[in-house]
Amino acid sequence: MTTDIHIKHLSTSTEIIHPNDKVSLIYSLFNNNPNQFGMCVVENRIPVGIVTSKDLALKLSGQFGYTLYQNKQISEIMDTEFLKVDLNMSVKEVSSIAMARPDNKLYDFIVVTYDDEYYGTVTIKDLLQKTTELEILSAKHQNPLTGLPGNMIIEQQIAQCFNDRKNRSIAYIDIDNFKAFNDYYGFEKGDLIIKMLGETIGIYFPDQFVGHIGGDDFVVVFDRLMGLKDFETLKRQFETDVLKFYNERDIKKGYIIVHNRQGVLDKFPLMTVTCVVTNNKSGSFMGSQDISERLADLKRKAKLNLI
């Protein structure tokens, strides 16, 4: 279940008219269909304007409105400054563009195109309704600590990488010695560090998908090929920022003493970050599960300093 869809899935094929059609004909079409919110003016399959029932009624109102315009071509009074979007744009993108329009155009319907040719229309009512549904769905599948997408959406993103022929990379990022810090300094400070790492990843890799698996584990899906060197600055930044969560004594020592998983007191170095990355060009994957297993293997080797 995705939390964003293409605008084509909201599009409906509404009635189209030609620029040479008479205003009287269009007026009659609106009168015969009171539920018709508007029409797209199309010439040689290309949208060239729109006409809304509200604007046409306003233009033809008054003592001489209808008489003045009835024999004119609709091209003379159609709105040529309308919003048109490609059918593969996301609902989120279209909603953002539509809501940024001037107030007098805010509720005009949207024209959807395919290779610049007319495909259909979307009403603002349908757009806002779907946007609200997607926002609720997105919130449901977000990690409550960081607000980042959780496991279900991460799995979808990884599956898309597997099916995509374009360059894609997937990185797995987690914190070394986090549990020891959490046990020693408390979960409240631990939560702050997890949030800090999520924010730092977003800063260093803007416009890329960042997901939060849970705990101190993050996944980043890139629209390009990435290598381990691309994460060196992120690692250094985190390892500098995390020092403010330690006391001076522990910073000077370079470690903390905490019970390990066997219940024995042990030394744990200050926290660092492990980053591993793979891509859809580095080998043949049988599916998204195979990619996850590949990342898990790389993480294990990185923890053992084998890569």
Query: How far apart, in whole angstroms, are the C-alpha atoms of residue 1 and residue 174?
Result: 26
Q: Kindly tell me the burial class for residue 65, based on how many C-beta atoms sit within 10 Å of its own C-beta (0-12, 13-18, 19 or more).
A: middle
* Domain at 23, CATH number: 3.10.580.10
pLDDT tens for the chain, 307 residues long, are: 455 689 999 999 888 999 999 999 999 999 999 888 999 999 999 999 999 999 999 889 887 888 889 999 999 999 999 999 999 999 989 999 999 999 989 999 999 999 999 999 999 999 998 888 877 766 667 888 998 988 888 888 887 776 667 788 889 999 999 999 999 999 999 999 999 999 999 999 998 999 998 899 999 999 888 999 999 999 999 999 999 999 999 999 999 999 888 889 999 999 999 999 887 776 555 555 666 666 667 667 666 664 4
Name the one residue in this structure whose structure tokens are 């590949």: 294
Give the chain's domain count: 2
| 14 in any annotated domain | yes
Domain hosting residue 47, numbered range: 7-131
End residue of a domain, out of 131, 154, 181? 131
Buried b (16+ CB within 10 A) or exposed e, 121-132: bbbbebbeebbe
| Residue 86 and residue 45 share a domain | yes
| Residue 283 and residue 153 share a domain | yes
| Residue 278 and residue 154 share a domain | yes
| Residue 230 and residue 288 share a domain | yes
**What predicted TM-score, i.e. pTM, was given to this entire model?**
0.58
Which pLDDT score is estimated for 307? 45
Count of H-run helices and E-run strands, the chain? 11, 12
Query: How far apart, in whole angstroms, are the C-alpha atoms of residue 172 and residue 275?
Result: 6
| 138 in any annotated domain | no
Which pLDDT score is estimated for 187? 93
SS3 2: coil
Q: Which structure tokens are listed for 50? A: 């729109």
| 139 in any annotated domain | no
End residue of a domain, out of 77, 96, 131? 131
End residue of a domain, out of 98, 131, 164? 131
Query: How far apart, in whole angstroms, are the C-alpha atoms of residue 141 and residue 14?
Result: 35
Name the one residue in this structure whose structure tokens are 């209808």: 66
| 137 in any annotated domain | no
DSSP state for residue 129 in the 8-state scheme: H
C-alpha distances (whole Å) from 302 to each of 107, 173, 237 are 54, 11, 19
Which pLDDT score is estimated for 135? 73
* Domain at 270, CATH number: 3.30.70.270
Which pLDDT score is estimated for 283? 56
Instruction: Report phi then psi at 18, rounded to 5.
Output: -100, 150
| Residue 228 and residue 292 share a domain | yes
Query: How far apart, in whole angstroms, are the C-alpha atoms of residue 220 and residue 171?
Result: 5
Strand order in the sheet with 38-43: 16-17, 38-43, 46-52
Cβ-based neighbours of 201, under 8 Å, separated by 6 or more: 173, 210, 218, 220, 234
